[in-house]
Amino acid sequence: MTVTPQTHQVGFIGLGIMGRSMAGHLMKAGYTVHIYSRTRAKCADLEAEGAVWHDTPAGVAGAATVIITMVGYPKDVEEVYFGPDGILGAVQPGSILIDMTTSQPALAQRIAEAAAEKGCEALDAPVSGGDVGAREGTLAIMVGGSPQAFDAALPLFQVMGKTIALLGPAGAGQHTKMVNQIVIAGTILGVAEALNYGQRAGLDLHKVLDVIGKGAAGGFQLNVLGKRMADGDFAPGFFVHHFIKDMGIALEEAERMGGNYRGLKTALAQFQGFAEEGGAEAGTQGIFKHYAS
């Protein structure tokens, strides 16, 4: 059954940089949204706007029949689905479970199997587009799972994103996200090195960005994150520690499939170095600082 505000109440677990904007869009679209996150205080504004707080993921699963998760790491995904107060212990038959966290393809497959045992469907639906895409409701959403579950959940995805595609069975969304992260790994390193070069050459970085951002080098990493580098704005849109997690998953999967990605390994080593210098909580554009000395 296609999801609408009349037929389904929505659960949303994990209300950080991405989740809070995404849940906000669902509320504005008319959905009743049941929420749980690790730190309740950070959800006060959503509660004030009408989101219904629950003390556990199981509480959310008891109240909603579509449940979206947007937590940090695969271990967090494990905890909210399989933990003692997890979703799978309380889920109602016929529910659709949607993990939008960037996580492991194999974990997405495990969730799909466990969901099927409970008479439910699961989709892995990681996103791209950053904090800006989440705020503006323009995310690219890459989905793995059955066509029936995808069709049913499509109206929800359309509230949060603009480009939405089913890429294959459970795990295919996460694999697609890894393709995305491999592109970004090389790209952001290139942007940081290029702007460091521009700085050393005495150029005005804003003027450089205005012109090359409209040429063949243009894109989110250069135009949005390159500008944040030039502005000296290193606040997190996408945390360095999450990017390190993603590159680790991509390398693990690549090695399992026989791929050996030198560029990705270089990017990971650079970001690990930046994290050791205290950059783990910065946004990924912070890698620019790594080239300062």
Contacts with ligand NAP, residue ranges (CB under 6 A) = 13-19, 37-39, 42, 70-72, 76, 79-80, 101-102, 127-128, 130-131, 237-239, 242, 246
Q: Which listed residue (42, 75, 162, 177) is catalytic?
A: 177
Residue 199, exposed/middle/buried by CB under 10 A (0-12, 13-18, 19+)? middle
Position with the least CB separation from ligand NAP: 16
Q: Would you list the DSSP string of 18-36?
A: HHHHHHHHHHHTT--EEEE
Q: Judge whether 46 and 24 are in contact, CB under 8 Å.
A: yes
CA dihedral angle for residue 186, residue 187, residue 189, residue 194, rounded to 10 degrees: 130
CA dist., res. 8 & res. 15, Å (int)? 20
CB of 136 to ligand NAP, least distance (A): 12
**14 or 137: whose CB is closer to ligand NAP?**
14
CA dist., res. 172 & res. 153, Å (int)? 16
**204 or 231: whose CB is closer to ligand NAP?**
231
Other CB atoms closer than 10 Å to residue 75's CB: what's the count? Answer: 11
CB of 132 to ligand NAP, least distance (A): 8
Which of 37, 36, 69, 29 lies closest to 52 in space, CA to CA? 36
- Whether residue 177 lies in the annotated active site: yes
**142 or 208: whose CB is closer to ligand NAP?**
142
CA dist., res. 51 & res. 37, Å (int)? 12
CA dist., res. 21 & res. 137, Å (int)? 8
CB of 39 to ligand NAP, least distance (A): 4
CB of 106 to ligand NAP, least distance (A): 16
Which of 134, 15, 132 lies closest to 68 in space, CA to CA? 15
CB of 146 to ligand NAP, least distance (A): 23
CB of 222 to ligand NAP, least distance (A): 16
**18 or 61: whose CB is closer to ligand NAP?**
18
Tokens 């480009």: give the residue.
Answer: 163
What are the start-end ranges of the E strands in 74-154? 96-99, 121-124, 127-128, 139-144
**45 or 204: whose CB is closer to ligand NAP?**
45
**150 or 238: whose CB is closer to ligand NAP?**
238
Residues tagged active-site: 177
